[in-house]
Amino acid sequence: MSPTLQPLIDEPALLLKEKKLLVIADLHIGIENELRENGLQVPSQTKIMEERLISIVTKNKINDIILLGDIKHTIPSSTYQERTDVKRFLETIQSYSTLHVLPGNHDGNIDRLLTPGIQLHPSDGYVFEEIGFTHGHRKPSDEIMQCDQVIIGHSHPTVMLMDRLGYRTFEQCWLRGPILSEALKEKYPTSSTSQVLLMPAFNPLCGGTAVNQDTLLGPFRSLIDVDNADLYLLDGSSLGKVKDLKESS
């Protein structure tokens, strides 16, 4: 039986308590440079994310951490500062737990920034305790799609909420969606995957895809029954089905 997946309250992080495993996605270290180029002066989030992650790791006595892609931000190449920040961040976190890196679409040449002991897995996915993990930007392996549950990042899911005056806000959210069986069988005839959990971005500066307004990114958009997916805010509040929020927006 697969271990229980438990999103942490008020954190875009996933805990597999029985295995002392923590999963986070989309750190996008270095995104501040792009924002500054577009006229937005924001402080670096790297140290803030590092302190948040260390607090979570120590509080929950984590043994292993899966970094589910897009650890760095700039593509195709990175600035010297970004490379320095990424390497320092990984070295610091590695001193607390074993790190597993699954490259995302922003992680070209990430292997050059990894110190010995950090486990680099294929970008098409990694199976841990019968659960499939992949960033979500490319077609997952057949092995991943043999898992009942698959965990992805990439889309930075948010939900658009509108009050009675028409004022719109966007909140980070979790999306847990059933699989479209016909689409799945067409691409993976022997797959046994029944649901996908889409993780919010760990870096709050990332922005995201409003799942009740926009289309998900990557190949999973054609596999997930988004309308019948369940939405949860970071504080644990259930917002019901995506289709219900589409009707009310």
- pLDDT, tens digit, 9 for 90 and up, residues 66-82: 999 999 998 877 888 89
Fold of 5-248: Purple Acid Phosphatase; chain A, domain 2 (3.60.21)
pLDDT at 134 over 90: yes
Burial 183-218 (b: 16+ CB within 10 A, else e): ebeeebeebebeebbbbbbbbebbebbbbbeeebbb
pLDDT for res 247: 63
pLDDT for res 249: 56
Give the residue among 192, 189, 194 at the shortest CA–CA distance from 224: 194
Do residues 132 and 151 make contact, with C-beta atoms less than 8 angstroms apart? yes
Domain boundaries, the chain: 5-248
24 has which bridge partners?
67
- pLDDT, tens digit, 9 for 90 and up, residues 29-63: 999 888 888 888 888 889 999 999 999 999 999 99
Give the residue among 19, 22, 18 at the shortest CA–CA distance from 8: 22
Q: In which band, very low, low, confident or very high, does the pLDDT at 3 lie, cut at 50, 70 and 90?
A: low
Upper half-sphere CA count for residue 115 (Cβ side, 13 Å): 14
Residues, the chain: 249
- pLDDT, tens digit, 9 for 90 and up, residues 190-247: 999 999 999 999 999 998 999 999 999 999 999 999 999 999 999 999 999 999 998 6
Q: Which residues contact 188 (CB under 8 A, 6 or more apart)?
A: 142, 145
Q: Is 94 helix (H, G, I), strand (E, B) or coil?
A: helix
pLDDT at 159 over 80: yes
Indicate whether this model's pTM tops 0.85. yes
- pLDDT, tens digit, 9 for 90 and up, residues 160-198: 998 888 889 999 999 999 999 999 999 999 999 999 999
pLDDT at 89 over 70: yes
pLDDT for res 49: 96
Give dist(CA 179, CA 202) in Å, integer.
25
pLDDT for res 1: 55
pLDDT for res 11: 97
67 has which bridge partners?
24, 101
Q: How many CB atoms lie within 10 A of CB 168?
A: 11
Q: H helices of the chain, where?
A: 31-37, 46-60, 80-94, 181-187, 242-248
